[in-house]
Chain A
Amino acid sequence: NAGVTQTPKFRVLKTGQSMTLLCAQDMNHEYMYWYRQDPGMGLRLIHYSVGEGTTAKGEVPDGYNVSRLKKQNFLLGLESAAPSQTSVYFCASSYTIWRGTYNEQFFGPGTRLTVL
């Protein structure tokens, strides 16, 4: 199993450009997440999905959109990139809550995005 994979690994954008980050998981997980990691701020949740066709906002959703058309894929879009979106982006996935157990999230390797 590949686990959680992210494409691309690195990207440099100019202000105003758009791009899509792809996350894929082969563990049949229901839940998927997008985080950003900035120095001194830990990981902050951008958007998440509790199942195919559903998405919800996290802590820092502004400037991002997401889609979950297939269970195994979760796309993060930047319509008009800004320098403030320079960050490392992590995708994660997890099983649903089962019998009250809160399952751990499995993370992808990250995408380093620089917006000039």
Chain B
Amino acid sequence: AQKVTQAQTEISVVEKEDVTLDCVYETRDTTYYLFWYKQPPSGELVFLIRRNSFDEQNEISGRYSWNFQKSTSSFNFTITASQVVDSAVYFCALGFQGAQKLVFGQGTRLTINP
């Protein structure tokens, strides 16, 4: 079965702190894709990153970075020097071969306090 677990329901930090959002996935497929989406208070879902199962290189995009570790089935997301505009619900999702469908985690609500 395909499953994504985001154990952190809510996180609250003070601006400029670093914060890591955890994502653990389950799949028996050898080929799969992992995604992160952001849902700001306005409600729309914004695509952040896609990573395939054969590429374990970490990725950095500005203040955002992602750590993919197949050994622990994790795809964690770190925001460095957080800002109030980072406040949102963040979803991790799994796409698996043979079906263009996504399985989403429960989401983590991140609040950055000024």
Contact = CB atoms under 8 A, between A and B. Distances in A.
Interface residues of A, number: 29
Interface in A66-116: 88, 90, 92, 94, 96-97, 100-110
Contacts of B91: 42-43
B106 A58 contact: no
Nearest to B52: A102
A102 B100 contact: yes
Contact of B50 (A41, A100, A104, A110): A104
Given A102-B33, A102-B52, A107-B45, A42 B104 contact: yes
Nearest to B35: A104
Contacts of B50: 102-104
Contacts, number: 54
B12 interface: no
A105 to B, nearest CB: 6
A101 B62 CA distance: 24
B100 A97 contact: yes
Contact of A45 (B37, B44, B52, B101): B101
Given A42-B91, A42-B107, A100-B31, A105 B102 contact: yes
A50 B100 contact: yes
Given A40-B9, A48-B101, A94-B100, A102 B95 contact: yes
Contacts of A31: 100
B114 interface: no
B43 interface: yes
Nearest to A44: B104
Given A42-B104, A104-B50, 5 more contacts: A42-B107, A43-B91, A48-B100, A102-B50, A105-B102
The 10 closest A-B pairs by CB, nearest first: A42-B104, A107-B45, A102-B33, A43-B104, A102-B95, A42-B106, A104-B47, A31-B100, A109-B44, A110-B43
